[in-house]
């Protein structure tokens, strides 16, 4: 498959919605493209769209998105000034009754969708990237990355773009203890603040 002549986010969104590079498109309602400005300070890369994202067609609009919004604001950033996207563009899930439950993308699916993430990065040209969780880190860096050991460290892509690794905001949703959850959100916010402060001028 030859690289399409894609030079804008509008063209990219249209091409992503026609994608059949892996089987995930068959059960998802639509591809969910990234959103935000060109040449932002940060690009935030999550794992994949969730149920609400798949229904609405926008990234991070569900419960994890609310935590992300809180952390972005707490880090002194504005969501309109960052580009938010996912490593995998279609929602992978299994249906139980009326619910669609998240399933983690496998290595093949991550690699097949990396094509789109690379095109997106080339168009957006962020100063730095934050990988939200293991799937995003693997897609960007091409290897498994230990999240806890990699937090608040400046890594880099082959082209020199800085990459920072942190937890995915959905990890905080699974914490039932309120005190522990708030502590993790504060750490997550601190990770975004660290990334914003360690970007090239």
10-residue averages of pLDDT along the chain (201 residues):
75 95 95 97 97 96 94 94 97 91 94 96 97 97 94 94 96 92 96 95 81
Q: Which two tokens stand for residue 29?
A: 């309602």
Q: Which CATH number fits domain 21-197: 3.30.300.30, 3.40.640.10, 3.30.1600.10, 3.40.470.10?
A: 3.40.470.10
Helices and strands (DSSP H and E) totals, the chain: 8, 7
Domain boundaries, the chain: 21-197
User: 């949703």: which residue's tokens?
Assistant: 173
User: Residue 85 burial (CB < 10 Å; 0-12/13-18/19+)?
Assistant: buried
CA-CA-CA-CA torsion sign (72, 77, 80, 83): negative
Note the pLDDT of residue 166: 98
Note the pLDDT of residue 97: 87
Note the pLDDT of residue 4: 54
Residues 6+ apart with CB under 8 A from 155: 141, 145, 162, 163, 164, 165
Residues 6+ apart with CB under 8 A from 169: 46, 60, 64, 65, 67, 68, 71, 132, 188
Q: Which two tokens stand for residue 173?
A: 């949703």
Report the DSSP pairing between strands 93-96 and 99-102: antiparallel
Closest CA to 136 of 159, 165, 172: 165
End-to-end CA distance of the chain: 37
Note the pLDDT of residue 172: 93
């Amino acid at each position: 498959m030859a690289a399409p002549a894609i030079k804008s986010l509008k063209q990219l969104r249209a091409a992503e919605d026609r994608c059949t590079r892996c089987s995930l498109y068959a059960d998802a309602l639509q591809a969910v493209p990234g959103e935000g400005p060109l040449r932002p300070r940060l690009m935030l890369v999550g794992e994949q769209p969730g149920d609400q994202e798949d229904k609405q067609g926008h990234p991070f609009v569900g419960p994890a998105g609310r935590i992300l919004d809180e952390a972005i604001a707490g880090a002194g950033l504005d969501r309109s000034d960052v580009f938010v996207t996912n490593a995998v563009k279609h929602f992978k899930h299994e249906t139980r009754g009326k619910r669609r439950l998240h399933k983690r993308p496998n290595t093949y699916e991550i690699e097949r969708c990396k094509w789109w993430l690379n095109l997106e990065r080339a168009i957006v040209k962020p100063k730095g990237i934050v990988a939200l969780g293991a799937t995003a880190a693997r897609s960007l860096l091409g290897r498994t990355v230990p999240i806890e050991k990699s937090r608040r460290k400046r890594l880099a892509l082959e082209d020199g773009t800085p990459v920072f690794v942190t937890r995915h905001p959905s990890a905080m949703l699974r914490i039932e203890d309120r005190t522990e959850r708030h502590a993790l959100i504060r750490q997550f916010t601190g990770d975004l603040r660290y990334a914003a402060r360690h970007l090239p001028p």
